[in-house]
Structure 1
């Protein structure tokens, strides 16, 4: 298959993947990425909107793309160290509200990737809500997207610690 045809097919699938609606839950602008080629981890970002008329709670995410899939966020400790953490309790989804999953903040984390994520690939993800149940989405891989939200570029984020330098920028701690 030629590159142009493959790109057109991937674009068509990506357009079909967003927004996704399920019983008042919509998922907009989903995309996945890795920090580097051949990376063993990756993440998915999206905006989840709630128009069900009642609050809900995102309790889990599932995908066969990785050995372990978790809900994560970044938090800054008292020393200014940024840490990526697993949020076991999940995220609240307010009535008529949204969960913004963006680099440097909340996201779906893929650890122990079962395959390389390539530009245009589609990652099947199931979001599990307390009330709405399972919402299956298709998340396109976009390795070229620049960060638009959050405090830092997730592509430079490891699972170690980060500290702010004297100018307020994030860097890996020693």
Structure 2
């Protein structure tokens, strides 16, 4: 009976774990993607932002080359920087480099995903799934919890370890 119980428990853990993937780290080869989130948008808002952290534990640089989701017509990879007194946002047409042994943070006011032509509002408490494509590591789905419209990071409970 013990063996049956252990097998059932192991199977339950394997089934339940993906449902909570947005609370932990998503692994893709040497890349670790963590603390994903997006912000709530107003109804009929044309754009939204996506944020997360990518750690490259490998010995070679990789590059986030594209993102896609059913919630938007297009997703662009953007940077934001001050030019004089003006905050400028621009698309990174060649993607975002993730240097070997380094961590790159996509956050409000910095690098981020820009969801263009939203098909639906981002509602606080819901989630948005985005497919990220890296030049070397490949493709992975990441679930972004929708936080308040002013969130600078996920809620503490979303990324507690």
Q: TM-score, normalised by structure 1?
A: 0.70
Q: Is contact 1:14–1:140 with CA below 8 Å preserved after alignment? A: no
| Cα RMSD for the two superposed structures | 2.1
Provide the residue aligned with 2:67 in structure 1.
61
Q: Which gives a bigger RCO, structure 1 or 2 (Cα 8 Å, sep 6+)?
A: 2
Report matched runs for 1:25-104 at 5 Å.
Answer: 25-77=31-83, 79-104=84-109
Structure 1 regions of 5+ residues with no counterpart?
Answer: 1-11, 149-174
CA distance in 2, matches of 1:86, 1:23: 26
Q: Deviations over 1:29-54 (max 9, x none)?
A: 10011454542211111111111332
Structure 2 Cα separation of the partners of residues 134 and 13 of structure 1: 16
Larger CA Rg, structure 1 vs 2? 2
Distance of aligned partners of 1:35 and 1:105 in 2 relative to their CA distance in 1, 3 Å threshold: farther
Tell me the residue number matched to 1:121. 126
For the residue of structure 2 that corresponds to 1:126, the secondary structure is strand
- Aligned with 1:146: secondary structure? coil
* Residue-by-residue CA offset, 1:77-101 (whole Å, 9 max, x unaligned): 2x42212111111111111111110
Secondary structure in 1 aligned to 2:59? coil
Q: How far apart, in 2, do the equivalents of 1:13 and 1:33 lie?
A: 22
Paired residue total: 136
1:34–1:43 CA contact under 8 A, matched in 2: no
SS of 1:134 mapped into structure 2: strand
Q: Secondary structure at the match of 1:16?
A: helix
Q: Any gaps of 5 or more consecutive residues in structure 2?
A: 1-16, 154-161
> Equivalents in 2 of 1:43, 1:13: separation in Å?
24
Distance (Å, rounded) in 2 between the aligned partners of 1:14 and 1:30:
15
